Amino acid sequence: MKEKLTVIIDYNLGNLFSVKHACDHVGLNTVTSNDIDLIKKADALILPGVGAFGEAMNNIDQLNIRDAIIERTQAGIPLLGVCLGLQLLFDESEEFGHQKGLGLLAGKVKKLPGRSSDGKKFKVPQIAWNSIHATENLWEKSALNSVKDGEYFYFVHSYYVAPENDSEILCTTQYAGMKYCSGVMKNNIIAFQFHPEKSGEKGISIYRNWAEQNDLL
């Protein structure tokens, strides 16, 4: 049987090495690439990322891979988004004005508040270990099925996603006195605001679960 190929999308802005290392650790057959033909042939996609939303989308458009990412995802192949990769899946971001995203998920990307409603100051970006909490029904059917509710993962971000559809929220996190979406799942798409690959063995287990659930190993 032909070995399945997972393409880690390289749009010249991302945490590619750590993601590749996590994939190698669990036995995923991966290639890091922005080659449009490889993306079109991929059995699964990983969209990583660290940096600015607008720059990321500009790079994706300059590489002419926007349509390939959208088409393959809409065709039903598994897609895993990480950090900025989660945000890029949405309709738009308010970072530096309004920036259009891939539009695979309905909703917007908004800035974390620097103060809570009672006036307490919080650092933005959030660079910290923080806990994730389950939402109804989705957790056990997802790549988080081996993760305990309340486990801590590593976050580095200034913006968060606000999905239009609450049913797509996989997990939530508290920061700056607010609860926000830190993970989503819709059909073949799953994505996280935190970095599983930088969160120790429990994070690596998310890659392993995702690969096993999608028959990629």
DSSP helix/strand/coil, 159? strand
Find out whether 135 and 183 touch, Cβ atoms under 8 Å.
no
- What mean pLDDT comes out for the span 173-188? 95
pLDDT at 97 over 80: no
Residue 195 appears among annotated catalytic residues: yes
Distances 70 to 32, 43, 65 between C-alpha atoms, Å: 18, 14, 9
Give the model's pLDDT for residue 137.
65
Residue with structure tokens 């997802």? Answer: 142
The pLDDT score that the predictor gives to residue 122 is 86
Spot the catalytic one: 23, 83, 171, 181: 83
The contacts of residue 197 (CB under 8 Å, 6+ apart) are 15, 18, 19, 21, 22, 82, 203, 204, 207
Please confirm, yes or no, whether 151 is among the known catalytic residues: no
What's the rounded mean pLDDT across residues 185-197? Answer: 97
pTM of the model: 0.96
For 77-92, how does the pLDDT look when each residue is reduced to its tens digit (9 = 90+)? 999 999 999 999 999 9
Active-site residue, selected from the candidate residues 95, 168, 171, 197: 197
pLDDT bucket at 200, cuts 50 / 70 / 90: very high
What average pLDDT score do residues 198-204 get? 96
Alpha helices, H only, 27-172: 36-41, 53-62, 66-74, 84-88
* CATH architecture label of 6-213: 3-Layer(aba) Sandwich (3.40)
Q: Is 212 a catalytic residue?
A: no
Q: Which of 194, 199, 187, 205 is nearest to 144 (CA)?
A: 205
